[in-house]
Amino acid sequence: MKDSSKVLGFIGVGVMGEFMCANLIRSGKGDVHVFDVQPEPVGRLKEIGAIASESLHQLAQDTDVVFLSLPSISQVEDVCLGKNGLFSGDSSRIKYVVDMSTSDVTRTRELALALQKRGVTLIDAPVARMREAAKNGTLLITVGAEPDLFEMIKPYLETMGSDIVLCGPTGCGQVVKIMNNMIVFMTVQALAESLVIGKRAGVDPALMFDALTKGSADSFVLRNPGLKALSKDTFPEKTFPTEYAIKDIRLALTLAEDGKVDAKAAKLTHSLLEQTRDAGFVKEYYPVMVKLIEKGYA
């Protein structure tokens, strides 16, 4: 039986969002209204019980809590406050917006203040881990909210993630997620460099990475982008492309600058990712940076 106390909305059902939304629908926590500019995933979600909204305006009239899974803070701002956004009219019933995107911290906090003036609370709840975790409902979700709001929203987040962590007030969920991604990108660069060094010294990359999982170099990054992409020289599109990685590590560098930290290692990884993009690897899975290491990047 569905909990009808709150009507839910979900905007942005792309590579990660579709799985997240599907898990929310299947949980029976309430009716879920869905909007996306791409009709195909909306159609698939309708088959399992979603209610398709024709516009953001319609979704705003029909829902109490809205979850966002969008590429960046620019899309989040536009969806909320743009000309045809959720709060562009006078008839929105939304009381809570939960941003599950990876978004700029300062702009997240500014958006929270703008929405607060409209009687709406913004909760940042970005997700970590890969597409398989989104499908299985085992994401890490780092939340920026006051404790009472965290407890209110947690049952919904638990349908999408297995680890739900309150990180502090508004924006703190984004801080933790951005640091997670920064560390992952830097570790992938270390793995890519070790692969090229080991290969040129005569060791098979797959064998070396498998051996490293048995030692102190073992990590989630080694077992996933390392073994599944780098060692196989496979970098598919629609996974986590280079352009997304650049966006996220720029967010980390902005935080470093704000805190007056000279993040030398992160700057090096950012430079390598930009060179990877400039070499034409824009949509490919970002560990494709190994191609630049093999050629001897500047």
Identify the CATH homologous superfamily for domain 8-169.
Answer: NAD(P)-binding Rossmann-like Domain (3.40.50.720)
pLDDT score, position 147: 98
Are 68 and 97 contacting, i.e. CB atoms less than 8 angstroms apart?
yes
Q: How far is the C-alpha of 78 from the C-alpha of 82, rounded, in Å?
A: 4
Per-residue pLDDT of the chain (298 residues; tens, 9 = 90+): 455 578 999 999 998 999 999 999 999 999 999 999 999 999 999 999 999 999 999 999 999 999 999 999 999 999 999 999 999 877 789 999 999 999 999 999 999 999 999 999 999 999 999 899 999 999 999 999 999 999 999 999 999 999 999 999 999 999 999 999 999 999 999 999 999 999 999 999 999 999 999 999 999 999 999 999 999 999 999 889 999 999 999 999 999 999 999 999 999 999 999 999 999 999 999 999 999 999 987 5
CATH topology of domain 175-295: N-(1-d-carboxylethyl)-l-norvaline Dehydrogenase; domain 2 (1.10.1040)
Active-site residues: which are they?
177
In this prediction the pTM is 0.93
The full DSSP string for 9-50 is: EEE--STTHHHHHHHHHHTTSS-EEEE-S-HHHHHHHHTTT-
- Burial of 251-286, coded b for 16+ CB within 10 Å and e otherwise, reads bbbebbeeeeeebeebeebbebbebbbeeebebbbb
Is the C-alpha dihedral spanning 187, 191, 193, 194 positive or negative?
positive
Find residue 173's DSSP bridge partners.
none
Give domain limits for the chain: 8-169, 175-295
Q: How far is the C-alpha of 76 from the C-alpha of 108, rounded, in Å?
A: 9
pLDDT score, position 170: 97
pLDDT score, position 88: 86
pLDDT score, position 298: 53
